[in-house]
Structure formats: C-alpha cells, structure tokens
Amino acid sequence: MLTVSDIHTYYGNIHALKGISLQVRSGEMVALIGANGAGKSTLVHTICGLIRPEKGTIMFQGAAIHGLLPESIVERGIAVVPEGRHVFSTLSVEVNLQMGGFVHRRNSSQIQEDIHWMFDIFPILRQRRLQLAGTLSGGEQQMLAISRALMSRPQLLILDEPSMGLAPLVIKEIFRIILDLKEKGKTILLIEQNARAALQIADRGYVLETGRVALEGESAMLLEHKDVQRAYLGQKGHLSTVPFAAKAQKRQRSCGG
C-alpha cells in the first residue's frame, strides 16, 4: 500500500534521512523504532508532505505522492496522529473532530455520522464533547488526536509516538485501542520509542538509526534479535556487529546503565 524507496531528506545542510526504504502492506501494522534523532519523525513528515524529500520516491496505492501538498496527501487517504498530540487546545472536542474531517468538504452528514462513531469508540470523548481540548488529560488528548485522524477515513493511519508523555496504565489503554483498530482492518504505521510495546502488537518492524534502516523484519524476530534487545529493550546481549552495538553501548552508558 505504501512504498517508500531510497528517500533522502535534508533540514538545511543536515542530511536527516539517508536513503530509507520501507513498505507497509494493506491490513498490516508496521512498527518503526529507533532512538531520538534517528529520523522517525522526519520520515513521517516526509510521507505526509510537510517536508519535501530531496531524492527518492513515495508510492501510495500505486501513485507517487512525494512532492504533493499535505492536503492532497490527506485526501488520498493518509492520516497522521502527530507527535505530542497537537490537539487544537482552544477549540472544543467536537470542533477538533470536525477539523479531522476537514477534507470531506461539505459532506456534513458524513462528518456528523463519523463523530458519533468516534464517540462510540471513545465514550469518554462524548462526555467531554463541549469541553476545550486543552483541558483534557494527556490520555484523553491522545484519544482525541487518534479519533481526529480517523475522521478523515484514512486508508493508512500513521501514529507518531502515541505513548509519549503518558502514564504506563494509559499507554496500555492506548495500545489496546491501536490493536483494536488493526483488528478492525486498519493499516497502521506505528512510530515508537517504546520498542517492546510497539513490536508486541505490530506484524513487522523497522529499526531506524541515524537516518538509515539498520534492521528490518518480523516483529517476533526483532524482539528476539540480540542487538535490538541490547539497544532498545534494555536487556543484556552479546557484542556483535560493530557500529550498531558500539552505539548501543554508548547510549546505555549515557543513560546511566
């Protein structure tokens, strides 16, 4: 469904993505893991058209979408739940949801219908519908951000760090929701620092490191992979291939063990 091939993206002089290729097939959930600064969010911004890639192609459902404006990419069926949620905090929950359906022009009956559907999935939002989004708790804001993205009826849902800044119990709830969406047949690209949680629910995974794909494969394989365990799952493994492990060791040390 989504094929990214050999994407290079720059921030000014900084070469942020150095030839990334990945694939998301219809109906599957793909996890994208990596440390801070690995280029995860840059990749998301590149896919949804907020940044233009210097080189490479992004194909979505058989058509090239790199170089399109963000609004036409949304129209083609990619919705993103941005990192840090970014709900419209001075607008009410309901207006936030209406904003999510923005691309559906004047089809207000469909938007109304979808809002009720969202309220069925997230009953808490129904209780809060007239409240300003900024007054919601972190978990509720994340639910709002997810349902806002679903409002555009996307074929592909991209979640950028949905667990960021949330309490463990709330993270569990959010991941349950994401799994639920997957089981309902949504295609999902899940970007996470919380590698274990992401790999546990995803079908396949990609490990990003300093702008490159360091590793890719089935989630179960990645969960068992020694380097992944060392670097991202906080378990002791054996030293193996040099750059990957050396970096991982450095990272572990700087985190205090």
Partner 1 sequence: MNKKDRWAFVGMGLLIAVFPGVALNVKCISHYVDVMVFAGIFSLVSLGLCMLMGYAGQVSMAQAAFFGIGAYSSGILTSRLGWNPWMAMPAGAGVAALVAWIIGVPALRLKGHYLAMATLGFGVIVHIILGEEVKWTGGPSGMVDIPGLQIAGWKLTSEVAWYYMIWSVVFMALLFCLHVIYSRVGRGLRAIHEEEMAAESMGVPTACYKVQIFVFSAILSAIAGSFYTHYVTCLNPGSFNLMWSIRFVLMVMVGGTQSLWGAILGAVLLTFAGNEWLQIFSDFEILVYGAMLLCAALFLPGGLASLVPKVIGVFRNSLTHLCKR
Binding residues for partner 1, per CB under 8 A?
Answer: 48, 50, 69-71, 74-75, 79-80, 82, 86-91, 95, 98-100, 102-103, 105-106, 148, 152
Q: Which is nearer to partner 1, 141 or 229 (CB)?
A: 141
| Minimum separation from the CB atom of position 91 to partner 1 (A) | 6
| Minimum separation from the CB atom of position 71 to partner 1 (A) | 4
Quick one: three-class SS letters along 115-172?
HHHHHHHCHHHHHCCCCEHHHCCHHHHHHHHHHHHHCCCCCEEEEECCCCCCCHHHHH
Q: Which is nearer to partner 1, 81 or 195 (CB)?
A: 81
| Minimum separation from the CB atom of position 170 to partner 1 (A) | 21
| Minimum separation from the CB atom of position 218 to partner 1 (A) | 30
Alpha carbon distance 161, 153 (integer Å): 21
Q: Which is nearer to partner 1, 75 or 216 (CB)?
A: 75
The amino acid at 175? F
- Look at the alpha carbons of 91, 94, 98, 99 in this order and tell me if their dihedral is positive or negative: positive
Q: Which is nearer to partner 1, 56 or 77 (CB)?
A: 77
120-123 contacts at long range (C-beta below 8 A, 24 or more positions apart): 121/147, 121/177, 122/146, 122/147, 122/177
Q: Which is nearer to partner 1, 152 or 163 (CB)?
A: 152
For residue 194, what are the contacts with CB-CB under 8 A and spacing of at least 6? 163, 171
Token duo for residue 132:
């300003």
Q: Quick one: DSSP state of residue 239?
A: -
| Minimum separation from the CB atom of position 80 to partner 1 (A) | 5
